């Protein structure tokens, strides 16, 4: 089954796609002074994600959920969980969550090790994080 991986943030959503291996796809950005945690940007994001799902033939969504060092939910994770609940309802799709601890740092390290710096790094960081989130889920749920 093919999935979309999402790294959801207030102003950007990194998107990756994969069935066995996750690959970077794109980054959604909201308008200035808007947040993906509130409408109208949230509704637009749901519509864009639905379009991407249809184009890519994805049947499920995996979202990274940040947790604190002690394993408890953060203020940010509550906002992302609310986004996920709305996404699941709007698209009538199952949304899986995984711990996204350190994925942004790992994505930055990977991109920098590939010689990607500056604006290109910033443009790809969220989608690279989404790919790591999705790959984690795919590996944890691999069937052999």
The strand order across the sheet containing 22-29 reads 22-29, 12-18, 3-8, 60-65, 95-99
Distance, in Å, from the CA atom of 63 to the CA atom of 8, rounded to the nearest integer, reads: 7
pLDDT given for residue 69 in this prediction:
80
Q: Using alpha carbons, select from 42, 89, 38 the residue that is nearest to residue 61.
A: 89
Q: Considering the domain 3-140 in this protein, what is its CATH number?
A: 3.30.420.140
Distance CA 25, CA 109 (A): 18
CA distance linking residue 24 with residue 16, whole number of Å: 4
Cβ-proximal residues to 102 (8 Å cutoff; 6+ apart), any chain: none
Strands (E), 20-124: 22-29, 60-65, 95-99
Phi, psi values for residue 43, rounded to 5° = -65, -40
The pair of structure tokens assigned to 5 is 């991986």
Q: Mind listing the pLDDT tens digit of every residue in the chain (144 residues)?
A: 999 999 999 999 999 999 999 999 999 999 999 999 999 999 999 999 999 999 999 999 999 999 888 878 888 899 999 999 999 999 999 999 998 888 888 999 999 999 998 999 889 999 999 999 999 999 998 775
């Amino acid at each position: 089954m093919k999935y979309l991986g999402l790294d959801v943030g207030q102003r950007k959503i990194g998107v990756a796609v994969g069935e066995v291996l996750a690959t970077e796809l794109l980054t959604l950005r909201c308008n200035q002074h808007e947040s993906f945690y509130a409408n109208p940007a949230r509704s637009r994001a749901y519509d864009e994600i639905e379009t991407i799902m249809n184009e890519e033939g994805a049947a499920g969504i995996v979202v990274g959920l940040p947790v604190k060092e002690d394993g408890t939910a953060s203020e940010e994770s509550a906002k992302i969980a609310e986004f996920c609940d709305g996404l699941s309802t709007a698209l009538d799709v199952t949304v899986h969550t995984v711990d996204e601890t350190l994925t942004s740092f790992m994505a930055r390290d990977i991109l920098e090790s590939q010689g990607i710096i500056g604006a290109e790094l910033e443009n790809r960081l969220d989608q690279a994080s989404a790919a790591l989130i999705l790959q984690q889920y795919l590996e944890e749920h691999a069937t052999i």
